[in-house]
Amino acid sequence: MHVQTMHIPDGFINGPVSLVAMVIAALGIVICLRGARKQLDERTAPMAGLVAVFIFAMQMLNFPVAAGTSGHLLGGALAAILVGPYAGALAVSVVILVQGLLFADGGLSAIGLNIINMGLVTAVVGWFVFRWTIRAIGVSKPKVFFAAFLAGLIAVPVSSLAFVLEYAIGGTGTIGWPTVMVAMTGVHILIGIGEGLITALTVAAVFLARPDLVYGVRDLLPKQVLVVEPAKGVA
Amino acid sequence: MPSPHTHGHDVGERLLVHRHTAIHRLPAEVKTVAMVSFILIVVFTPPEQFWAFGVYALMLAAVARAALIPAKIILPRMLVEVPFVLFAVLMPFFGTGDTVEVFGITMYTAGLLAAWNILIKGTLGVVASILLAATTPARDLLLGLERLRVPTLLVQIAAFMLRYMHVVTDEMGRMKLARDARGFTATGIRSWPVIAQSAGALFIRSYERGERVHLAMLSRGYTGRLPRLDNAVTLRSDWVKSMMLPAGALIVAVTATVVQP
């Protein structure tokens, strides 16, 4: 069994809340567009596009757990750590938008809800958890691993809490939101452990090979200065 | 009926069913607005008005028929709903309030209605999304979004994602082939570091590809804007034709809300 990302379908959350979510998601995307443009200027489109493809590909990568079950990454925290919160949230939101519009994954009326939960919330939470942790403990491979693990671990259950909030306000189901919260949080803490491990292993791999490509630590790395010295002993 | 065929379309089309019908020819932005409005109207319809959903289903069936999209293409795609179906199926058994006997099993009325609400609206929504994606090429959908004043930058990012989707997933496939060739089999959590190592390499390669693509674009005169190659005109009659679907649905929904039992 492969545990798939759960995109909310149409009708699960009522109309008014779905509409409000679309407005909030649109605002969030506009903020991310501005932030990403400030960071990447005219490189934004190709760079964020390629990061979106990377996240899309990561979601197809199977991580076997045990006894025939496997899971995959959501990617919000990973994207935020690697390319920054704005470009990261933007990339994951574009993935969800394309999945909803082109592949019929998740309801079209629920696209705002899905973008908030899986794109914006995971990226923002993942980013802040990573930054606070790394600033507190410093930069080295095990520390980057630990901070990235925490980011993935916390981002996923918080994202499920965003879903519970939407369900509590506009859910059409008759199961009470406290029950849904207990079930969702429980399951998502387990999923979060997986997400945290995959995020940490991937970030650590990038950090070892190209630390300058890990946006979350770039400003904390020792400055590398190119010094050109006159050749010695050359006639 | 013409057989499904593809000629010269973009990559990244998983759902497009290439046919030559009036629905396929409608401009993308018109269809997108029509389908999203239709789904929103369905979501707003009170669930106890069962007849209304019958009418909606017939409307979608008429669109599917006009677009020559057979049921065997639509049905398998509806599997994406399954996790929520499970949730819906549980509701009639856990709840409070009035109960009703169905085939000798006691179920809660409110739970049954809520389950019906989720199942029928989710199903109509999936079918509507499938019809949109099956009748509109991916590239046109994005151009349509641009004509709907969705920020150009967002549309460009999505366009890059579609354009490079196969390049990057193929690269991932080659990395898997290389792992397999070295005798690697993913067995459990212990093999995660190996897979994550590939994932890290994939990120670096994707990022560097983004930089190269950007430089290549700069050398061809890119200034932050992509040239618009399409000069398709959207006619008022296209809007009128497309909006017949949500307009019909709106009449049904208003009637269903006004004459509540």
> Which tens digits make up the pLDDT trace of A57-95?
888 877 777 656 666 788 899 999 999 999 999 999 999
pLDDT at site B189: 81
Instruction: Identify whether the C-beta of residue B17 lies closer than 8 Å to the C-beta of residue B73.
Output: yes
**Within a domain: residue A8?**
no
Query: CATH code at A190?
Result: 1.10.1760.20
Number of domains, chain A: 1
Which among A57, A11, A99 has a CA at the least distance from the CA of B201? Answer: A57
pLDDT of residue B1: 36
The separation between CA B136 and the C-alpha centre of its own chain, rounded to angstroms, equals 11
A203 has a chain B CB within 8 A of its CB: yes
* A223 in contact with B, Cβ within 8 Å: no
Separation of alpha carbons A3 and A70, rounded Å = 6
CB contact under 8 A, B204 and A47: no
DSSP secondary structure letters along A124-149: HHHHHHHHHHHHHH--SHHHHHHHHH
pLDDT above 60 (res A172): yes
Residue A230 forms part of a structural domain: no
User: Residue with structure tokens 């890119």?
Assistant: B222
**Which of A88, A94, A100, A91 shows the shortest CA–CA distance to A18?**
A100
Residue A117 lies in a domain: yes
Let me know if residue A73 belongs to a domain: yes
The residues spanned by each domain of chain B are 22-145+232-258, 151-219
pTM of this structure: 0.87
Q: Which residues of A touch B108 (CB under 8 A)?
A: 174
Within-domain flag for A68: yes
* A183–B contact, CB cutoff 8 A: no
Give me the pLDDT at residue A147, please.
Answer: 96
- CA distance from start to end of chain B: 44
Residue at A41 is within a domain:
yes
pLDDT of B6 strictly over 50:
no
- Which of chain A's residues have a Cβ under 8 Å away from the Cβ of B95? 174-175
- With pLDDT > 90 as the criterion, what percentage of chain B qualifies? 25
Question: How high is the pLDDT of residue B175?
Answer: 92
- For B92-122, what is each residue's pLDDT tens digit? 777 666 777 777 677 777 888 888 888 899 8
Q: What is the pLDDT of residue B229?
A: 64
Confidence of residue A152 (pLDDT cuts 50, 70, 90): very high
Q: Angle A76-83/A85-102 helices, nearest 10 degrees?
A: 140
Q: Residue A15 corresponds to which tokens in the numbers above?
A: 């109309």
Note whether A140 contacts B: Cβ–Cβ < 8 A: no
Q: Which of A6, A63, A203 faces B83 most closely, judged by CB atoms?
A: A6
Taking the C-alpha atoms of residue A150 and residue A154, their distance in angstroms, rounded to an integer, is: 6
> In angstroms, rounded to a whole number, what is the distance separating the alpha carbons of residues B261 and B257?
9
Query: CB of B19 within 8 A of CB of B2?
Result: yes
Cα distances (Å, whole numbers) of residue A83 to A88, A105, A118, A222, B25: 6, 25, 17, 19, 39
For the segment B224-247, what is each residue's pLDDT rounded down to a tens digit?
676 666 666 778 888 888 888 899
Chains A, B: CB pairs < 8 Å: 257
Average pLDDT, chain A: 87
